[in-house]
Structure 1
């Protein structure tokens, strides 16, 4: 429906009320969405919220396309308790197929969410709703037919903010990682010129439709972490996934972003999920102490989250 010139949509009625969901049967996995509309395609930690072992507040996006289907939810994770998931109404231009999200550094409640075709949305989460400010902004260098599943923001020591994103790749087609400066101001998003572009492929998964980058995040020290997944294009799977230390983002004396992604032969999974595990990781976040938080879009099996220490 349109109210005061703003599109209002969401999973309605009971789905807007915070509701605990039972944990998944697999050890460590916690269910945060059911069925095809309940997958997690991207995750961002809430800035300033407590975080640690089995403790996090997060915002997740769902890659739904229907007018009345949820796009974004908040998740409260606490040890010994089922996740509390709240689907939020979306105000503003309605996106289709949100695939990634990250927190805007230094601006609590502000996020950048990315749709699969390469449109970035500045989203403010407050007062039980998600407000998409301004029109979406196209990624620089975007081409017709590109398929994106990852986006991250990184603020370097100078205070400048950089964006890193990638096409997902498919089988023999490698992912392509990009980086540029970005300004997030009152008038919306402004990307700089793409200063780094590099192909990337993983050794595992190595069968079915391999998505070489299903999500990525940049750690405080510039380490680029990625997830990869395989999908047989059958909604029951089996799926496989892995998480990698994939390379590094640095900034040169001219204040341009520089990417140094590792070659395929130099990659070793930090975490690996086989067909028996049947998990399709499409979202990653990282907490202090090398603690990872993985999110899945397991199609018919919905979406789940899991903490994992990376050693």
Structure 2
């Protein structure tokens, strides 16, 4: 279950500050260099990663059958013998399934009765270069189809040009269009040029009411990186200290391995604390990562790695 909605606060650009890139990169590198999780502890962290995963398909050749297959994997992300070997009472499940708006109804039907929410990208994903009224209409369409979470994209030019009021107003309008659905604001950090811009965009998105801030569409040249994640987590921490409002975080794009899942969780644990290590406040936007997690858990249970064809595709 996602955390209760974030409440918008007035625009305040006085909270912006510059971000020291070399220092941020050193801190991010030290987070993963100083930690090594093995054995049963690693298995537990990997199970938590599954629970926090937005299992995603956003391809141009998506079909209803592909979405149904993805939903089946979300319902049963691990093979039965792995679940039994881990001593789990119940089959784990992913945090959500994320699809295009036209696939929302298919996903909602496939996940009926599971409690797994459907997330939809919207607002002209991935570029967001559409008139605002059309972007808002796309949000309303996805919500009307049953999406419980909406991943919106911002206009990068507002950030690059320092048009903070325009960015705030755009995101606030999108939040209003989401209605009961929770909104994740995709900053497309690979397009924002500097970590200072990433920090500023993060603060604006949260001030405008975003329930989550998200790194990337997965379509940029550079997607989720730990220095960017560190910058955004510190923006979340600063926003919480200033307003008392709690906002979630979602890295997405470029994450493929179980090691990536461990690294991102370590970042959350170190920078935001244990409360952010649950699906209500943390999501991993990925699909291929699940295959490697399942492979590592099979090794933990059996002592050997299975061939990739033994695990159902996400």
Tell me if both proteins adopt one fold, taking TM over 0.5 as the criterion.
no
Higher strand proportion: 1
- Structure 2 length-normalised TM: 0.31
Higher helix proportion: 2
**Larger RCO (CA within 8 A; separation ≥ 6):** 2
Q: Higher Cα Rg: structure 1 or 2?
A: 2
